[in-house]
């Protein structure tokens, strides 16, 4: 059977499974819609958190970035992995003990202010829409290639699917759908990695294969890739070109941004007890590590195979996958010297091939000539990764509007049924806006998502950390910090990514820090403003300070805490 037929079979089967789960686990109350009724087991929550966390950026974008940037791309691997550890240790148990539905809910109650709550809602919407743009772009990429429709049509199909189970099931439906999606995406990620590792190095463990010798040759795979890269004028794959300060700031922004992501944090409100929040964090870290330790290997395999396949080869003799990707516009060949051969080199004046980094994971099984069912499986995995995270983000958007704006501020006496309707209508509007951003994204998938992490770092992380660990932090400090932090990040992002406010080149970056890394600077600005302003304004009420004390005391600690 052809790749397209296999793709239809596997994608239809997985989508039927997701929709069936959503119908089975549909939400009947606001508590089920917001936090799945608070009764999810730690293992199921760990699987769902891993799927929520491993978005299209992790499945498609991260390996693509590492594949093209080599050592420089490792900042995404370090930042996202370290960030989850930070989230699990510093935030998850305390937020679960606080017991609120959403991050804006925590900030509104902790800082005893509806203004703080509103600022947090606005920040959540900005972060979530930026993040979801990358997911919808990922959905469009997969559909455009494997179902042979254009990217915009792919985005529309994804919108319809995610709308169905996010609106119908809420957090309850999303949670159990994400358990299935994790199983699909991890299987789809690992199977081709194992195949190609055996094919290239004879080792079935991709992580070890990456560091092994090439089958039939006496050279190590990484040394071979370094040689291939330098022969074409690219930097050696294992050498970095980014400045140390930019690497540090990007890694830090991704780490603290992770710890401030509202769609991941809300997952820890779905388990029955604080102890379960810690357990599910541990499970999730284990499940995430499977993909994250494999991504660098896939990057090396894909880059080596791509160079071997296209460099100095006759265009007319390119395999079928090449022309299929050309039709999507994600691979372009411009025969500048009209010799019919593909010149793939670093020198842009000579280079004739342009490859979108986001296709590397999807194209890798085709380049390696794996069976058609494996190629289709990767397509289903990419969709699972993108849709699982998109659903979580859309839930954050809808609950921010229905719970934190309508229920908590505009109409406190709203009935449970009316609030549920408002949440579902908010999700519909959110899907439409997300679809627009998916069709008109600011950059490729992983870079778009990296900006969302910077926004989360700049806005939420200081407010949450100080809210847990500093009794003296008051509403004035938190509000000022969030406003100044997110405005700083938005300004820098719009100036250097979108060329607003006069624009700017890489040479004009402040302190040599890229937009992806500026979230760390904006976070520090947030901390400074928050702490200084809180020192010169009245302290929080005594009951709020007591709450802060209590959320750090282990449950059932008894007299040992006195």
DSSP secondary structure string, 20-61?
Answer: HHHHHT---SHHHHHHGGG---HHHHHHHHHHHHS-HIIIII
| Distance separating alpha carbons of residues 398 and 498, to the nearest angstrom | 27
Q: Which tens digit of pLDDT belongs to each residue from 233-255?
A: 888 888 877 888 888 998 998 88
Residue 166: pLDDT band with limits 50, 70, 90: low
**Would you state the pLDDT for residue 40?**
81
Residue 554 has pLDDT above 60, yes or no: no
| Distance separating alpha carbons of residues 355 and 153, to the nearest angstrom | 21
Q: How many CB atoms lie within 10 A of CB 43?
A: 15
Q: How many CB atoms lie within 10 A of CB 434?
A: 27
The reported pTM is 0.80
Q: How many helices (H) and strands (E) does the chain have?
A: 23, 2
Distances in whole angstroms, Cα of residue 372 to Cα of each of 143, 321, 365: 16, 11, 9
Q: Which of 91-95, 164-168, 232-236, 432-436 has the lowest mean pLDDT?
A: 164-168
**Would you state the pLDDT for residue 560?**
40
Backbone φ, ψ for residue 331 (5° rounding): -125, 130
Q: For 417-424, what is the mean pLDDT?
A: 82
Residue 24 has pLDDT above 90, yes or no: no
Distances in whole angstroms, Cα of residue 297 to Cα of each of 62, 194, 196, 425, 558: 12, 10, 10, 43, 49
Buried b (16+ CB within 10 A) or exposed e, 183-200: bbbbebbbbbbbbbbebb
Rounded to the nearest angstrom, the gap between the alpha carbon of residue 39 and the centroid of all alpha carbons in its chain is 25
- List, in sequence order, every residue forming a beta bridge with 332; answer none if it has no partner: 354
Q: Which tens digit of pLDDT belongs to each residue from 30-52?
A: 666 666 566 788 898 888 888 87
Q: Confirm if 461 and 259 have CB atoms less than 8 A apart.
A: yes
| Distance separating alpha carbons of residues 193 and 188, to the nearest angstrom | 9
Which candidate, 10, 65, 125, 115, places its Cα nearest to that of 395? 125
Which candidate, 188, 124, 549, 112, places its Cα nearest to that of 362? 188
Angle between helices 518-535 and 445-469 (to 10 degrees): 20
| Distance separating alpha carbons of residues 35 and 280, to the nearest angstrom | 15
**Would you state the pLDDT for residue 451?**
78
Residue 562: pLDDT band with limits 50, 70, 90: very low
Residue 535: pLDDT band with limits 50, 70, 90: very high
**Would you state the pLDDT for residue 221?**
92
The set of residues, in sequence order, having a beta carbon less than 8 Å from that of 320 and lying 6+ positions away, is: none
Phi-psi bin for 556: left (phi > 0), alpha (psi -120 to 50), beta? Answer: left
**Would you state the pLDDT for residue 458?**
92
Which candidate, 387, 151, 127, places its Cα nearest to that of 259? 127
Phi-psi bin for 132: left (phi > 0), alpha (psi -120 to 50), beta? Answer: alpha
Residue 4: pLDDT band with limits 50, 70, 90: confident
Q: Which tens digit of pLDDT belongs to each residue from 290-317?
A: 988 898 999 999 999 888 888 888 888 8
Angle between helices 151-201 and 416-439 (to 10 degrees): 70
Rounded to the nearest angstrom, the gap between the alpha carbon of residue 177 and the centroid of all alpha carbons in its chain is 18
**Would you state the pLDDT for residue 436?**
81
Domain boundaries 3-215+222-553, corresponding CATH code: 1.20.1730.10
Q: Which of 98-102, 117-121, 433-437, 522-526 has the lowest mean pLDDT?
A: 98-102
Q: Confirm if 268 and 281 have CB atoms less than 8 A apart.
A: yes
Q: Which of 378-382, 423-427, 440-444, 554-558 has the lowest mean pLDDT?
A: 554-558
| Distance separating alpha carbons of residues 472 and 467, to the nearest angstrom | 9
The set of residues, in sequence order, having a beta carbon less than 8 Å from that of 258 and lying 6+ positions away, is: 79, 80, 82, 83, 84, 86, 87, 264, 453, 456
| Distance separating alpha carbons of residues 153 and 554, to the nearest angstrom | 51
Boundaries of every domain in the chain: 3-215+222-553
Q: Which tens digit of pLDDT belongs to each residue from 423-455?
A: 888 888 888 887 887 777 655 555 566 778 888
Q: Which tens digit of pLDDT belongs to each residue from 479-504?
A: 999 999 999 998 998 888 778 888 88
Q: For 323-351, what is the mean pLDDT?
A: 85
Q: Which of 119-128, 309-318, 419-428, 552-561 has the lowest mean pLDDT?
A: 552-561
| Distance separating alpha carbons of residues 245 and 113, to the nearest angstrom | 37
**Would you state the pLDDT for residue 312?**
81
**Would you state the pLDDT for residue 442?**
56
Q: What does the mean pLDDT of the chain come to?
A: 83
| Distance separating alpha carbons of residues 94 and 550, to the nearest angstrom | 9
């Amino acid at each position: 059977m052809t790749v397209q037929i296999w793709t239809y079979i596997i994608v239809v089967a997985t989508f039927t499974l997701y929709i069936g789960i959503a119908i089975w686990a549909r939400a009947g109350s606001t508590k089920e819609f917001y936090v799945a009724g608070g009764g999810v087991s730690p293992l199921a929550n760990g699987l769902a958190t891993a799927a929520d966390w491993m978005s299209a950026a992790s499945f498609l974008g991260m390996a693509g970035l590492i594949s093209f940037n080599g050592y420089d791309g490792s900042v995404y691997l370090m930042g996202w992995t370290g960030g989850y550890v930070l989230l699990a240790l510093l935030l998850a148990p305390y937020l679960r003990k606080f017991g609120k539905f959403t991050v804006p809910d925590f900030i509104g109650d902790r800082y005893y202010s509806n203004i703080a709550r509103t600022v947090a809602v606005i920040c959540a919407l900005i972060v979530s829409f930026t993040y979801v743009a990358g997911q919808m772009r990922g959905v469009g990429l997969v559909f455009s290639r494997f179902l042979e429709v254009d990217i915009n049509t792919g985005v529309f199909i994804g919108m319809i699917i995610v709308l169905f189970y996010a609106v119908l099931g809420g957090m309850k439906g999303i949670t159990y759908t994400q358990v299935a999606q994790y199983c699909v995406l991890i299987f789809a990620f690992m199977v081709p990695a194992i195949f190609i590792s055996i094919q290239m190095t004879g080792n079935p463990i991709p992580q070890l294969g990456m560091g092994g010798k090439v089958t039939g040759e006496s050279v190590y795979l990484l040394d071979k890739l370094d040689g291939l890269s330098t022969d074409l004028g690219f930097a050696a794959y294992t050498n970095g070109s980014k400045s140390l300060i930019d690497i540090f700031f990007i890694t830090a922004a991704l780490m603290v941004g992770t710890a401030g992501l509202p769609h991941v944090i809300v997952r820890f409100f779905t388990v029955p007890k604080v102890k379960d929040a810690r357990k599910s964090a541990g499970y999730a870290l284990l499940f995430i590590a499977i993909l994250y330790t494999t991504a660098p290997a896939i990057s090396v395999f894909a880059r080596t195979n791509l160079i071997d396949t296209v460099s100095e080869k006759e265009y007319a003799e390119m395999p079928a996958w090449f022309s299929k990707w050309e039709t999507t516009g994600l691979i372009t060949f411009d025969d500048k010297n009209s010799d019919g051969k593909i010149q793939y080199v670093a020198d842009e004046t000579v280079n004739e091939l342009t490859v979108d980094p986001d296709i590397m994971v999807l194209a890798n099984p085709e380049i390696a000539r794996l069976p058609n069912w494996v190629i289709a499986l990767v397509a289903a995995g990419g969709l699972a990764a993108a849709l699982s995270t998109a659903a979580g983000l859309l839930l954050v958007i809808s609950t921010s509007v229905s719970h934190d704006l309508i229920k908590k501020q505009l109409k406190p006496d709203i009935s449970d049924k009316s609030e549920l309707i408002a949440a579902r209508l908010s999700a519909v509007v959110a899907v439409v806006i997300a679809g627009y951003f998916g069709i008109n994204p600011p950059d490729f998938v992983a870079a778009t998502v990296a900006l969302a992490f910077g926004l989360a770092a700049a806005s939420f992380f200081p407010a949450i950390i100080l809210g847990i660990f500093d009794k003296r932090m008051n509403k004035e400090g938190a509000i000022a910090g969030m406003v100044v932090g997110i405005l700083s990040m938005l300004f820098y992002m719009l100036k250097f990514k979108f060329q607003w406010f006069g624009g700017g080149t890489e040479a004009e970056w402040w302190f040599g820090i890229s937009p992806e890394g500026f979230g760390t600077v904006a976070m520090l600005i947030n901390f400074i403003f928050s702490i200084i302003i809180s020192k010169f304004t009245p302290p929080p009420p005594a009951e709020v300070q007591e709450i802060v004390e209590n959320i750090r005391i282990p449950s059932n600690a008894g007299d040992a805490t006195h």
